Every structure is written in structure tokens, then in C-alpha cells.
Amino acid sequence: MYDVLVNVDGRDVGSVAADVERSVSTLDPPDGVNTTLRGPVVTMKEGTAVIGWGLAVATLLVYLVMLAQFRSFVDPLIIMLAVPLGLAGVVGLLYLTDTTLNIQSLLGTLMMIGIVVNNSILLVDRANGNLLVGQSPEEAIVAATRSRLRPILMTSLTLLASMAPFCFRLVPGTEAMIPLARALVGGMAVSTVLTLFLIPCVWFLVKRRQQVAV
């Protein structure tokens, strides 16, 4: 048995492991000779898979909880539109800052999902309440957006301000927090802005069509 020890300098473990696996796959070893990748790479892959399943389960549970609360299949789907908007922000900021997708950034994404969904709930819940008191869909969503704009911005800006310092290497020892903070900040920034436009538009189109159908 031969052990080939590899250390990483200036690159992330995941990309180096991918290069090693790609190179090993081009080899044609004789019968009885096998290659195995060991070390932190195995633990990292297992942890990433678990976090990935956690994201999927968290999204499903959030939808089921809102399904029970709103007693509607459509309203939770409208609210959940904030999730792909946040994911777009996560991917965008990680790409622009040359940050890898790892366990820390996935944890930041998991935290982001709960926060951006809460912003959508504020809008949809108030708009539904306005609709019940006799307002038209347009009046209901405009009034809901105006009344909920300040709470949404205050919550989002507070989080962004508190997490922004962790996006940079200000002091030694904070490197582990950088991917998590960047994922959270990117998702929150993009989702907050787009949610204030997309969610009201989708809600208005759905409710107007429902009224016309009735």
C-alpha cells in the first residue's frame, strides 16, 4: 500500500480533490490495484450531502407549516418564491467574491431561507387580511406593501449590518465565518429587494384570477 499525502496551499480542498480524482480517473491500473481518496475530503463530502438534504427538508417543512396556517395551497407557494430569489443572491455573491460552496456557505443558505420566507409572510398575510375586509386585490396588496415595507427593511438591514463585518478577513481566525456570512448577506440583499416587487405582483395576479373565476 502506498500513501500519497497532499496538502493544500492557496486553494480550497474541494477543487483540489476534484482535480486529483480527475487525474486518477485517467489512469489504467493493472488488475488488483485500487485507488482510494481519504482524509478530510470524505468528511466534507458527507457533511455537504447532509446539509443539502437539510435544505430540501427545511424547505418542505416550511411549506407544510404555512399550508396548515393559511389553509391554502397557493399562498405558501407565493411565499416560497422568496427562496429561489435568495438562492440567486447566494450564488451570485459567492461567485463574485470567488468563495466556494462548502458546509459553511450551505449553513448560511439554510439560515437565509427562514428569514426571507418571514418577509414574504408579512406581505401575504397582511394582503389577505385587507382582501377579507372588502378591498380589491390591487388595493389590498398596495396597502400591505406600504405598511410592511418599514418592518421588512428594518429586519433585513439589521441582519445585513451585523453580518457584513464577517464577510471580510478583518482579524485572524474569522476565515471560517466568511462563507457563511457571504451566503447569508447575498441571499438576504437580493431577496429583500426582489421580494418587495415580485411577491406583490404574483399575489395580485393570482388573486385577481381567482376573483374572475368565482
What is the per-residue burial (b if ≥16 Cβ within 10 Å, else e) of 45-58? eeebeebeeebeeb
> Which is more confident, 131 or 102?
131
Assign residue 150 the CATH number of its domain.
1.20.1640.10
pLDDT in tens, 151-169: 888 988 998 998 888 888 8
27 located within any domain: no
In the chain, % helix, strand, coil (3-state, to 5) comes to 75, 0, 25
> What domain count does the chain have?
1
* Residue 48 is assigned to a structural domain of this protein: yes
Whether the per-residue pLDDT at 34 is higher than 60: the answer is yes
Structure confidence by residue, pLDDT tens digits, 101-119:
777 888 888 888 878 888 8
> Could you tell me if residue 160 is inside a domain?
yes
Please answer whether residues 62 and 80 qualify as being in contact, where contact means their C-beta atoms are separated by less than 8 angstroms: yes
Do the beta carbons of residue 86 and residue 190 sit within 8 Å? yes
Q: Residue 33, SS3? A: coil
Grid cell 480527475 is found at 22
CA 41 vs CA 15, 61, 100, 191, 204: distances in Å:
10, 30, 14, 32, 48
Band (pLDDT 50/70/90 cuts) for residue 173 is low
C-alpha to C-alpha distance for 25 and 85, rounded to whole angstroms: 37
Burial of 13 (0-12, 13-18, 19+ CB in 10 A): middle
C-alpha cell at 41: 475530503
User: Residue 159: inside a domain, yes or no?
Assistant: yes
| Crossing angle of the two packed helices 103-132 and 178-213, in degrees rounded to 10 | 30
Amino acid of residue 16:
V
Look at residue 6 and tell me if it is in a domain.
no
**82: number of CA atoms within 13 Å, CB side?**
32
134: left (phi over 0), alpha (psi -120 to 50) or beta: left
Q: Which band of pLDDT confidence, cut at 50, 70 and 90, is reported for residue 185?
A: very high
In a domain? residue 151: yes
The model scores a pTM over 0.85:
no
pLDDT of residue 12: 67
Residue 31 maps to a domain: no
So what's the pLDDT on residue 50?
Answer: 78
Rg, the chain, Cα only: 23
Does residue 87 fall inside a structural domain? Answer: yes
Q: What is the domain range of residue 83?
A: 42-213
Tens of pLDDT, residues 16-31: 777 888 888 888 878 8
Are the CB atoms for 14 and 104 separated by under 8 Å?
Answer: no
Query: How far is Cα 23 from Cα 35, in angstroms, rounded to an integer?
Result: 11
